[in-house]
Amino acid sequence: KYGFISYVPSELMQDATFDLEGYLARSAGRELGRRVSKVAAAGVIASFTTAGVTAPAGVVSDFGDQTAVGEGTDLIYKLFHSVLPEYRSNASWVMADPSAALLRALKGSNGQSVWQPALVAGDPDLLVGKPVYIAPQIDSPGANKKSMYFGDLSALLVRIAGGLRFERSDDFKFGND
């Protein structure tokens, strides 16, 4: 169960010249979205991590030097092809912003960027033709860090029991149910 409480003085509620309740509801929605994202990212990390395996398929921890053989874009393609073909068809990438920043600079052997910006507003950018999703909870690139995941995430479900609701109350201790 997640909640978000914002204490607002009654004077502000009375004197507000804008939709204060709408503003607070949007702010609460963003915060709750971050919390749900954290749970979903933990699910991604857990589903791609196998006990006893130090480098499971679908995970990369460092991009290396793009001019060195076996590093840079070579690692991206190796990760891509480490996932079975039947799971690649619906696969996507999940990473944090620092990884995305590094990948935007990587070029293939033809000099072209492997990162492709979305053609339609609201669509995800693409990496090797597959959607990229940013999750701040994923580690940044570094030694012994898993900084990018690739696979079919369609089996990952987050259940929101009872839906979301926004309530306002002037009662003390309202947040304790």
**Between 100 and 163, where is the model more confident?**
100
Rounded to an integer, the average pLDDT of 163-174 is 70
Mean pLDDT for all residues in the chain: 76
What is the CA 44 to chain-centroid distance, rounded?
Answer: 9
pLDDT band at 73 (very low <50, low <70, confident <90, very high): confident
- Cβ(115)–Cβ(107) under 8 Å? no
Handedness of CA 129, 130, 134, 139 (dihedral sign): negative
Rounded to an integer, the average pLDDT of 135-157 is 78
Q: What pLDDT, on a 0 to 100 scale, did the predictor assign at position 9?
A: 80
pLDDT band at 66 (very low <50, low <70, confident <90, very high): low
**Between 148 and 117, where is the model more confident?**
117
Residue showing tokens 């600079």 = 105
Q: What pLDDT, on a 0 to 100 scale, did the predictor assign at position 131?
A: 95
Residue type, 29: G
Q: What is the DSSP string of 102-128?
A: HHHH-B-TTS-BSEE--SSTTSPPEET
Q: What pLDDT, on a 0 to 100 scale, did the predictor assign at position 124?
A: 94
Alpha-carbon distance of 162 to 19, in angstroms, equals 26
Q: Write down the pTM of the prediction.
A: 0.67
Q: Is the pLDDT of residue 56 over 50?
A: no
Q: What pLDDT, on a 0 to 100 scale, did the predictor assign at position 50?
A: 47
Give, rounded to a whole angstrom, the gap between the first and last alpha carbons of the chain.
Answer: 12
Q: From 149, 145, 66, select the one nearest 103 (Cα to Cα).
A: 66
